[in-house]
Amino acid sequence: MALHFSTFYAHVPHNDATSTFHPTTEVSHKRSIKMINMLFGSARAFNPGSRFSILTSASTDLSRVKVPFRRVDIPIERCSLMLDRTIGQRRLVAELPTDETLLMLDNDMIVQSDLSHLEALPFDIAVTWRPERVPINGGFIAARNRDDNRALRFFDEFVRLYRERSADDQQWYGDQFVLRDMLPTHLKWGPDMLTKPYDGATIHFLHSNEYNYAPKDGEPTLDVQGLRGRRLLHFKGKRKSAMLPYYADLRRDHRTVLTPYSIPAAMTGHKVANIGDGFILRSVQRLFGKVPKAHILSPRIAPSPKNENIMAVGDFIILAGANQLNDNYTIWPGLTAEALRSHDYRFLPVGIGLHGAPEKTVAMSEATAEILRAIHERIKYSSWRCPMTVAYLEASLPELKGRFLMTGCPVIFDKPLLNNRAFHQGCDHIAVTITDRGENWFKRESVTLRAVHGRYPTARKSLVLHQDFARISDPARPSPTDLLRQKLFEEATMLGFEIHAPTASEAVALYHTVDMHFGSRVHAHLLMLSRNRKSFVTAVDDRTLGLSRAFKFPILRLRNLDLDQALAFDFEQIREKALHVHETMQKFVASAQALR
């Protein structure tokens, strides 16, 4: 079964209108197309896999409708606009496949719910009911082609009775008068009213409060959260002015984040989440607001059709750092600039940085350059992690110079650091992080562990694993790296370290208890600095070097390591630089929030 959303729109130029009041002429063609895009965009987002059609006139330009749809041209006279719509709806019902539920909606509506449950209801025709003089609104009619063409016979009668109405009724509102007279709408709402027969057809009544809710007429602002529980909203009449800002709010509430912290199920056997990516995800939501769990997706694989529809809901898709940018960068495997431009997606890079290995950023490929050009066709600025990243981008794409903002990594921007509190002086709990890759990694991490133990022999000490490779290792067939890792853990245990392999949220809680950090995980370093806790980082590759240049923090040199000399560093220098970079981050966030 599938849902089929259909709407009606025919462009009627103002100077051709035949009456002083003609609702179609009160809304410009451009605005009408925007409303159709909002209707279809919201319907597709909450009901992936649906089909779409538009009843229209042959002369109406629908080229700017963004969702793929079937165009159904019908004869339309200005003096019988609604009658012609009803005749067109009859045609849709006559052509309706048995596996579809047809939802015929006004184009000034927004869908904000999964409506697939309607497919299980036993009806031929469904309408919405309201306790008013005209209880049926023609903006919502559902139909299903079940047995003996009962829905079609209902529409035959609907059209026959409508033709008997006055000329004014045929132009506007008459469909609602006919439905009122055809159906037993005088009854009080209750369980007995849910389904009623009409000439062999089963009519199902849905309450307009849920399926056809109109916000208060003329209200200058909308109670956004109070409307979220309605399945369909109808911005009829003067309410149309509120449709676009409401839809913008709806899209803001349904943004998507693509983050490498999310590991696809197919990769869990050979990929391990990096909790530093989890810190970035957390800080991105601090900047842009909470993201629904279902909208946190992975860039490691191409999105499924379901996830494509999830991405279509929001006003933009956040590309959360950290280390993806290289000569052959793309948003997900196989995505080309041509494919990106064919979608309505708006991607927003936030805190992305260079890969780290110099050989990965020698000369940007034309395919990557074109993807970045396509991204910037829909946004004003993008956010990048360090000066080295921006220099690489500007050298590769000089025509976009000035639009790549050096915002640093969002992990460092939190209230304690930004609000000028003094740096913490404690040393009761020390955390060390390790990176078990790179040349001579074992020696680097062993030197750090022993130096911290030597300087703080009685402190509580935690070894925090930002990637727990034991989850994908085979204990029966350990690799050379597995053996070295185990050797390091044994050394850490002997030195009195507790070993933790937390999730990102567990690590955030753990670091709340930590007074000071040493180690090679740069996002642990940034998190601790964001909380006014002293942190000292060792470099694995150019990623740490780039962030050091962004925020003016020192890098521990393991040769002749002197922790006392490192501890004498004035951390207020980092705060001063962070406050300056934060202004650029605010400029970037403001530009993103202004996108429409």
Average pLDDT over residues 434-449: 91
Total structural domains within the chain: 3
| CB 292 within 8 Å of CB 254 | yes
| Mean pLDDT, the chain, integer | 91
> Are residue 188 and residue 96 in the same domain, yes or no?
yes
User: What DSSP assignment string belongs to 208-274?
Assistant: HHHHSB-PPTT-SS--HHHHTT-SEEE--GGGHHHHHHHHHHHHHTT-EEE-TTSPPGGGTTT----
> Are residue 386 and residue 448 in the same domain, yes or no?
no
Q: Which residue has the tokens 């970035």?
A: 280
Asked whether residue 43 is domain-assigned, the answer is: yes
Q: How confident is the model at residue 192 (pLDDT cuts 50, 70, 90)?
A: low
Asked whether residue 440 is domain-assigned, the answer is: yes
Asked whether residue 311 is domain-assigned, the answer is: yes
The pLDDT tens digits of the residues spanning 98-152 come to 999 999 999 999 999 999 999 999 899 999 998 888 889 999 999 998 878 899 9
Query: What's the burial of 561, exposed, middle or buried (CB within 10 Å: 0-12/13-18/19+)?
Result: middle
Higher local confidence (pLDDT), 433 or 314? 433
pLDDT reported for residue 37 = 94
Give Cα 358 distance to the centre of its chain: 32
Give the sign of the dihedral formed by CA 479, CA 481, CA 484, CA 488. Answer: negative
> Are residue 206 and residue 177 in the same domain, yes or no?
yes
Residues 6+ apart with CB under 8 A from 244: 34, 38
> Are residue 39 and residue 155 in the same domain, yes or no?
yes
How many whole angstroms separate alpha carbon 86 and alpha carbon 178?
Answer: 11
Cα–Cα nearest to 152, from 128, 124, 126: 124
Asked whether residue 229 is domain-assigned, the answer is: yes
| CB 235 within 8 Å of CB 111 | no
Average pLDDT over residues 582-590: 98
The pairs formed by 15-18 with CB atoms below 8 angstroms and a separation of 24 or more are 16/78, 17/78, 18/78, 18/79, 18/171
pLDDT of 510 > 90? The answer is yes
Q: Nearest 5 degrees, angle CA 394-CA 397-CA 403?
A: 60
Give the sign of the dihedral formed by CA 226, CA 230, CA 235, CA 236. Answer: negative
pLDDT reported for residue 197 = 83
Strands 109-111 and 125-129: unpaired
> Are residue 205 and residue 278 in the same domain, yes or no?
no
Asked whether residue 276 is domain-assigned, the answer is: yes
Cα–Cα nearest to 260, from 339, 333, 361, 208: 333
Asked whether residue 579 is domain-assigned, the answer is: no
Give how far Cα 301 sits from Cα of 306, 347, 350, Å: 13, 16, 19
How many whole angstroms separate alpha carbon 183 and alpha carbon 63?
Answer: 38
Average pLDDT over residues 423-427: 94
Q: How many residues does the chain have?
A: 596
> Are residue 84 and residue 162 in the same domain, yes or no?
yes
Residues 6+ apart with CB under 8 A from 189: 129, 131, 207
Q: How confident is the model at residue 14 (pLDDT cuts 50, 70, 90)?
A: low
First CA to last CA distance, the chain? 34
Q: Residue 475: which CATH number? A: 3.40.50.2000
Q: Residue 169: which CATH number? A: 3.90.550.10
> Are residue 317 and residue 202 in the same domain, yes or no?
no
Strand partners, 429: 460
Q: How confident is the model at residue 26 (pLDDT cuts 50, 70, 90)?
A: low
pLDDT of 22 > 80? The answer is no
| CB 550 within 8 Å of CB 576 | no
> Are residue 199 and residue 284 in the same domain, yes or no?
no
Least confident of 165-169, 460-464, 476-480: 165-169
> Are residue 409 and residue 462 in the same domain, yes or no?
no
The pLDDT tens digits of the residues spanning 376-399 come to 999 999 999 999 999 999 999 999
Torsion, CA 426, CA 432, CA 433, CA 438, rounded to 10: 130
> Are residue 105 and residue 132 in the same domain, yes or no?
yes
Strand partners, 430: 461, 516
Asked whether residue 576 is domain-assigned, the answer is: no
> Are residue 127 and residue 93 in the same domain, yes or no?
yes
Average pLDDT over residues 313-324: 88
**Tokens found for residue 218:** 């003329």
Instruction: Work out the number of other CB atoms within 10 angstroms of the CB of residue 239.
Output: 19
Asked whether residue 578 is domain-assigned, the answer is: no
Single out the residue in 188, 215, 249 at which a domain terminates.
249
Give the sign of the dihedral formed by CA 30, CA 31, CA 36, CA 39. Answer: positive
Residues 6+ apart with CB under 8 A from 385: 321, 322, 351, 352, 353, 354, 406, 407, 408, 409, 546, 547, 550
> Are residue 472 and residue 377 in the same domain, yes or no?
no
pLDDT of 262 > 80? The answer is yes
What range defines the domain where residue 513 resides? 421-571
How many whole angstroms separate alpha carbon 396 and alpha carbon 251?
Answer: 33
Torsion, CA 446, CA 450, CA 456, CA 459, rounded to 10: 60
